[in-house]
Structure formats: C-alpha cells, structure tokens
Amino acid sequence: MSFMVSELTISIGGRTVVDDVSFTVPDGGRFGIIGESGSGKSLTALAILGLLPEGATATGSIRLDGRELLGLRERELARVRGAKIGMVFQEPRTALNPIRTIGRQIAEPLRIHEGIGRSEARARTVEIARLVALPDPETIVTRYPHQLSGGQRQRVGIAIALAARPRILIADEPTTALDVTIQAEILALFDRIVDSLGSSLIFITHDLAVLQSVVDEAMVLGAGRVVESAPISDLLSRPSSPVTRRLVDAARATSWTKPEQP
C-alpha cells in the first residue's frame, strides 16, 4: 500500500473531533471520505498535509511509501505538499490569489519543486491548462481569478494541485459550489485525469450521488468516527449504519436511485 492512515485522532481545545480513523489507499486507487457536516472529513484531509488550524493536535500515523508524515517539520512538509500530495480545495474563489495571474499560480509548484526557469514554466503551465480543459489556454493563463467563471476557477485549482504530478490527489468537496452541469464536467475531469496520470485519489464529499461516479471504495464518518467502510456499490445498495442510510436517502432525493432487486 502506498498510503496509509492509522488511528488518526485530532483534538481541538481538549475536545476530540476525529477519533481513531484508519484507511489505506493503494497506488492508483480511488478512495472516498463521506460524512455529514461536522463529521471530521475535511480535518482528516488537512491533517494529511499538516495544515490543521492553530490549536489542533493530531496523533496516530500517516505514512506515504513507509515514510511517516505526521510530525514532520514544516520545511519537510513543504517538500511533500504539491510534489507528493496535491489538494483541491472546496472554494476556489478563496483558495486562489486574486492579485496573481492564473499562469503564475499554476507555475508556482513547478518552480518550487522542479526548479525550472520562467520560460519552461510558462510552457508547462499552458500544457496543464489544456489538460484540465480550460478554454484558450494561452490566453487564460494571463488572466486573474475574478475574470473566470466558477467552473473555470475550480479547473485552475485542479491544475495547481496536479502541476507537479503528485502521487496522491486530495479533492475536498470540489463540486459543492457548482451547478449541476458544471459539477458533472468537473467529475468527468477527475475521472479522466486520475486515469491518465496514474495518481491515487482521495475524494471528500457529503454527497453519495457525487461519490459513486469517481471512487471504488469509501469510508463513512459520523461525529469524527468511522461508522462504515465498504465498496461504494455496497454503501449505496446495502448501507449498514444510520449515517449511511441518511446519506443514501439524500442521494436518492437528487440523482441516484437504488437499483431494483431481482
């Protein structure tokens, strides 16, 4: 297994908010983390990258290819972020720097982790913009976030996360703020890119209808604990916990319907 989280526990102000979470993601695997609001799914992702909020502490183990990430110094973690593990955040409007061009923001992880020059970085940036299906890549890399639509900004967020070709891509609620049509396009993009790059995917959401289209297995969190973990088809057709059943009911009310029994 290339990536393993074991007994991860996160506390804030003396209160445990994530309790004894464990999961593994194989090379090229597609793994989902799903739960209702406040279940601890985003905190789990932040712990992986060493980005927990001030006052939060984490114990347990987070290993990539056998190397322990939990407790690494900031300088060492900075070498992991982007190069080994990339993250797409929920709201690109706040994740992107409003005073930097799109191209400069996509190029930043390339220049940090690969040390390439400005001209090569620009050429690679255009390639990456094309990979994530941004329109007119040569022009769009010269623009600023406010000049792009919500769907285009999310594609830029994906481009930044993928720029240095990380082994693992974490997507934290990447379609929440998008309308249904753009949401479907972004999900198809994840599916295509993960296949083409061979990266592992950890996809975080509260929506089982979304999750079924991009992952093979998933873990359900409830109040910071793992309440169920199974192939996504089993979670949809045979939910065993009350939390999962509520998520299935919500998915059924949108775009997913439970298959008829033979």
Type of residue found at 135: P
Across 117-121, 220-224, 250-254, least confident range: 250-254
% of residues, the chain, pLDDT over 90:
58
pLDDT for position 62: 97
pLDDT at 86 over 60: yes
| pTM of the predicted protein model | 0.88
Query: pLDDT band for position 195 (50/70/90)?
Result: confident
Instruction: Please write the tens of the pLDDT for every residue from 5-27.
Output: 999 999 999 899 999 999 999 99
pLDDT for position 183: 83
Helix (H, G, I), strand (E, B) or coil at 107: helix
* Between 60 and 174, the higher pLDDT residue: 60
Instruction: Please write the tens of the pLDDT for every residue from 27-49.
Output: 999 999 999 989 999 999 999 99
For the sheet with 30-35, list strands across it: 85-88, 168-172, 200-205, 30-35, 217-222, 225-231
* Between 125 and 91, the higher pLDDT residue: 125
Give the helix ranges, DSSP H, for the chain: 41-48, 74-80, 92-95, 102-113, 118-131, 137-140, 150-162, 180-197, 208-211, 232-237, 242-252
pLDDT at 60 over 80: yes
pLDDT at 261 over 60: no
Q: List phi, psi (to 5°) of 78.
A: -60, -30
pLDDT for position 255: 56
Instruction: Please write the tens of the pLDDT for every residue from 125-184.
Output: 999 999 898 999 999 999 999 999 988 998 999 999 988 889 999 999 888 777 788 888
Diameter of the chain measured on Cα atoms = 61
Average confidence score pLDDT of the chain: 89
Query: pLDDT band for position 254 (50/70/90)?
Result: low
Across 89-103, 211-225, 236-250, least confident range: 89-103
pLDDT for position 235: 93
pLDDT for position 122: 87
- Beta partners for 233? none
Q: What is the set of domains in the chain, with CATH numbers?
A: 1-84+170-257 (3.40.50.300), 92-165 (no CATH)
Dig out the tokens for 95 from the structure: 């994740």
